[in-house]
Structure 1
């Protein structure tokens, strides 16, 4: 009997779990038996591994070969186990393990000629290996920049199975960690491109300062999409931890650049209005992949023509908006992905959408039904509501508004003030502060709270709406450089909340 072992990682969501791969060669009819809940891609690895091993100058065992992936109850998906399977078979064939093999995680897909191809999810797999205190990890050469983002573990890149075998035998070297630079970002669209719309521009600035959700309504062509596209340019760069988290999500989706994988700017995701629930929140058969809400984590999710989006799709946003996470239950388990994004909605006022709202030919019931697709619970989670008005000819001759650079400086100062204030509760932006903290430890003065109490007494706000109004008031306060919201901040926050959508 000959037994070989190798190790890899299974990634579910952004969590990785160690997988032990055993190859057992015993007497019997030649054949390969793969056990351990493999999916179709893993089942097909039998043929890929056999061809790669023989085409790399090795003999395939002409006996009964059993390949076991443990833990046996964990579903195994994808082609990431190929080089670990091949290494286990080669170790069993020589009836002796290589020293490197017992302390190295192996990740990569094999081509039939023995080349090692890149795979998805390398970053969360390397993070899992570091967490389990493994000393080294071997990844496909194309994935080496991505794996090099993780410190505290030796990262090596392999080009072929033959090269890996030589390294295991102590007769060759693998590519070592590389220096990874940030991608050069294209020139961002500037706020000066937007004509007029002073109130909407200010709302975008407030949204950027506090991380708030925003809805823009109004006739077509007045700048709703332009304003939404300029919001990411007002946000500060991602912190080191945030950048690694966002990059890990894109790694699972296979969306990273090979040369500059690290994502340092807040992402901007704008799915089409015909997108399905699975496309928006994530999904898939057996194993759930991240959707648009996770791709927009720590950035902006922009839904244009939101009144045209299906009701079930819009309602699926409620949980991630509240919790900052999406949990997708599928046949093979529950995948968890972070989804703390800023939601920006844009919609016309009615189906006919004339340039001048006074020329609308839609009956009143049709107008109410059109925006009525946005349910009360969903709108209750939107902090800023702005109804934009048509721009008159006089605005074309006015001086251009402030640049994104000037607004970005104010936003950065406001965010820094918020981060220092909320460090005691472990959050960085006003939008993330728990309601009880706002109402108890950081409650504004009684005089400042008067407009909010009046709105609650008249039934114009829910308790959640009151908390969100306070969060916006803190953002207004931070932009103005004050230490606590005053009555004008809370009144302005209430004004933003009570405008913009006709119910």
Structure 2
């Protein structure tokens, strides 16, 4: 007789049904065979499960035992099938009969066919946590099943509305539950709305001396979810401002919190803001990979596709410090996620898509040597824009370094620069700014402005649709321009030689600037300011 137990397989971050079939053969030498495209961890399950059952007081069948994991053409990974195998073996051996039939009570047995099982077992029968509990919960809801899994995963599965997730500490508890000997209550669903809160301010923008223009650019980027690149000499405060950015972002919505927790649950990526991957993630993730990271670690991949840093920053910030120091293949691989909000990885056995709705924030020096200021113009915040442009060689090491700056900037391709909405120059801070008592914009006021601007976007664009994600007709509708503003933008396009992609990004940034000002329409001044943030599109900008 064949016993069938419901379980699941992870494909990317999606769960698909898997049926664990257990069959006892009456003839042949005792042995255990696991089929269905298992990996090494699954093949080792037989030894783990046998020892766990014997240490829990059950007998291992002394016959030829075959376990099939269906569908057989999908690769099975990890120890997630330990518990389903154990339940299937016990059921096939008659060890899960109702307590009323065994003379031990009057409670009816739980219908195991209405349950979805997953869990790793320790040698003493304890249950250990698994990957993908949130995805398991989504599958259980879709199939109309209850989830039975380790207690440490139960609240993850309970994040999914409408799912009953039963958590247990050992195989013995699961058996008692299925026999009807032990009552169990579903894990309570976490109060997501109460748990979701703004990230604490680790670095306040008030601590950043001067840099009001850069703060303004970061405010616009946070309000509209725009990608941003800061260019400036070493020590100007670029990294400090990037660290202050999460403190002005709004809290995750309920839907976002569940989605981010689901992703981290599948990869067990570790702590985010002090919270383990087994808990609800309520803070926007901030990922800061080293510039030596490989393309696979950044965008994801591998023989069995895994999400990379760009997906782990979903609904949050991906900060790339020293941007030109990243490998060319890494930088070029960012094009799709930055533009489309997802990563698609194709393999011979199928295609996997990972979410990557990120806010890309990057920082770089003007030259490989850091471009530290050597001229008096470094202190001239009152200088005109023209003087700033002509004085850039003094700020960044003299005219002799122009060729070096051009070579350094050439590491960034035009298509990548096109995908970054805001380019802002971060000038060295003059002494009078460093010694000021009052420091301008602080995180609290910036956070309030961001919240108000995003509320306007939710009401106009639809819940969760930021200006940075406006496309086609929506962009034309919500960022329409009058004749004067259209002429200004057209002249800028002709003068700077901007691409169609840059044209759309200017309109999106202008829409956000208008939202920060509380304006229903995009004004000429909004577009003019947005054009100023296309620093690297200006003639000769590759020499900054």
TM-score w.r.t. the length of structure 2 is 0.87
Distance (whole Å) between structure 1 residues aligned to residue 119 and residue 229 of structure 2: 44
Partner of 2:32: 32
Q: Alpha-carbon deviation of 1:171?
A: 0.7
Counterpart residue number, 2:337: 320
8 Å contact kept, 1:427–1:433: no
Note if contact 2:135-2:157 (Cα within 8 Å) is conserved in structure 1: no
SS of residue matched to 1:283: coil
Once the two structures are overlaid, the 10-residue window that deviates more, 336-345 or 446-455, is 446-455
Q: Distance in 2 between matches of 1:108 and 1:37?
A: 19
Partner of 2:67: 67
- Name the structure 2 match of 1:100: 111
The counterpart of 1:122, out of the listed 133, 145, 150, is 133
Q: 1:406-463: per-residue Cα shift (whole Å, max 9, x none)?
A: 111111111111111112xx75210010034323564221211112111333462111
Which residue of 197, 200, 206 corresponds with 1:192? 206
**CA RMSD for the aligned pairs?**
2.1
Q: Which residue of 2 aligns with 1:145?
A: 155
Q: Which residue of 2 aligns with 1:419?
A: 458
In the alignment, is residue 348 of structure 1 matched against residue 365 of structure 2?
A: yes
| Alignment match, 1:472 | 509
Deviation at 1:119, TM superposition (A): 1.0
Aligned CA distance change for structure 1 residues 214 and 25 (closer, same or farther; 3 Å) = same
Is 1:244 matched up with 2:258? yes
Give the Cα separation in 1 of the matches to 2:128 and 2:87: 15
Distance 1:260 1:114 in 2: 21
Deviation for aligned residue 1:88:
0.6
The Cα shift of 1:364 comes to: 2.9
Q: Which residue of 2 aligns with 1:262?
A: 280
CA distance in 2, matches of 1:445, 1:186: 41
Tell me what 2:386 maps to: none
Distance change (3 Å), C-alpha of 1:11 and 1:493: same
Residue 14 of structure 1: aligned partner: 13
CA distance in 2, matches of 1:317, 1:30: 53
Q: Is the 8 A contact 1:31 1:65 kept in 2?
A: yes
C-alpha displacement of 1:96: 7.3
Alignment-derived partner of residue 293 in structure 2: 275
Further displaced range: 73-82 or 290-299: 73-82
State the secondary structure of the residue aligned to 2:79. coil
The equivalent of 2:168 in structure 1 is 158
Offset of 1:332 from its aligned partner?
4.6
Task: Tell me the residue number matched to 2:387.
Answer: none
Question: 1:93, CA displacement in angstroms?
Answer: 1.2
User: Counterparts of 2:231 and 2:215 in 1: how far apart (Å)?
Assistant: 13
Kindly indicate whether the alpha-carbon contact (under 8 Å) linking 2:96 and 2:178 is maintained by their aligned counterparts in 1: no
CA distance, structure 1, for counterparts of residue 277 and residue 460 of structure 2:
38
List aligned pairs for 1:162-177, cutoff 5 A.
162-174=172-184, 176-177=186-187
Alignment partner of 1:349: what SS?
coil
- The answer to whether the aligner puts 1:180 opposite 2:197 as a matched pair is no
Report how far residue 317 of structure 1 moved: 0.5
Q: Corresponding residue for 1:384?
A: 422
Gaps of 5+ in 1: none
Please list the CA deviations of residues 347-372 of structure 1 after superposition, one character each: whole Å capped at 9, or x if unmatched. Answer: 01101124215362764332211121
- What residue is the counterpart of 2:466 in the other structure? 429
Q: Is the 8 A contact 2:260 2:281 kept in 1?
A: yes
1:366-381 alignment runs, 5 A limit:
366-381=404-419
Find the aligned partners of 1:428 and 1:460 in 2 and give their Cα distance.
Answer: 29
Aligned-residue offset at 1:499: 4.9
CA distance, structure 2, for counterparts of residue 179 and residue 439 of structure 1? 42
TM-score by length of 1: 0.94
Could you list the per-position Cα deviations for residues 217-240 of structure 1 after superposition, in whole angstroms to 9, with x for gaps in the alignment? 111111101111111111111111
Gaps of 5+ in 2: 98-108, 375-393
Q: Displacement of 1:35 after TM fit?
A: 1.3
CA distance in 1 between counterparts of 2:450 and 2:196 reads 23
1:147 Cα deviation after fit: 2.2
Structure with the greater alpha carbon radius of gyration: 2
SS at match of 1:447: helix
Determine helix, strand or coil for the equivalent of 1:493.
helix
| Alignment correspondent of 1:301 | 318
CA contact (8 A) 2:424 2:533 kept: yes
* 1:369-421, Cα deviation, whole Å (9 max, x unpaired): 11211100000000100111111111023212122111111111111111111
Number of residue equivalences: 498
Q: 1:21 to 1:115 in 2, by over 3 A?
A: same
Match of 1:111 in 2: 122
**Would the alpha carbon gap of residues 431 and 289 (structure 1) be closer, same or farther in structure 2, given more than 3 Å must change?**
same
Question: Take 2:472 and 2:236, find their aligned partners in 1: how far apart are those partners?
Answer: 35
Alignment partner of 1:401 is 2:412: no
